[in-house]
Amino acid sequence: MRRRPNMRDNLVGMFRSVRNGTAMNPLSTMRQINIAHDERVASERNSAFGAGTVGGNRNWEAPFHATTREGRLVTVSIGKGTRTGETLICDGHVDLDTFYGNKNLRIAKGHDHFDAAGSYAADRGKYRG
């Protein structure tokens, strides 16, 4: 009876193929798998972003998509705990990276920050109020 190959057999086979010049480097293959996983996770987070279930932390509620009285689309996160009364807001229904920024992708934060008194704490020009 022939046994099923396991992970070790697959890795040994990949290394052997690399040595013979017939396959990609297995570390490169693993990086591609990790990148594909990261992209899938990011896609899932982005698709759920704006529903008030993705993002946020101990100081901020998960951002949600909303509409102002004038009918303008906005993305908003409301402060809680030590940030109660503060607001993060930007124009449009944006995705996760646009709202929070992404250092790895060199995307700057895409929201303005208002303090509890309603004054700008950080004016990045992302909300035209």
Q: What is the pLDDT of residues 40-91, one digit of tens each?
A: 555 555 666 667 766 778 889 989 999 999 999 999 999 999 999 999 999 9
Query: What pLDDT score was predicted for residue 66?
Result: 92
**pTM (two decimals):** 0.62
Residue 18 has pLDDT above 50, yes or no: no
State the Cα–Cα distance between residues 6 and 114, nearest whole angstrom: 55
pLDDT surpassing 70 at residue 24: no
Count of C-beta atoms within a 10 Å radius of residue 23: 15
pLDDT value of position 113: 93
For the chain, the domains span 7-47, 50-122
DSSP state letter for 112: E
Average pLDDT, integer, range 124-128: 91
How would you list the strands of the sheet with 64-67, edge to edge? 64-67, 73-78, 87-91, 112-114, 120-122
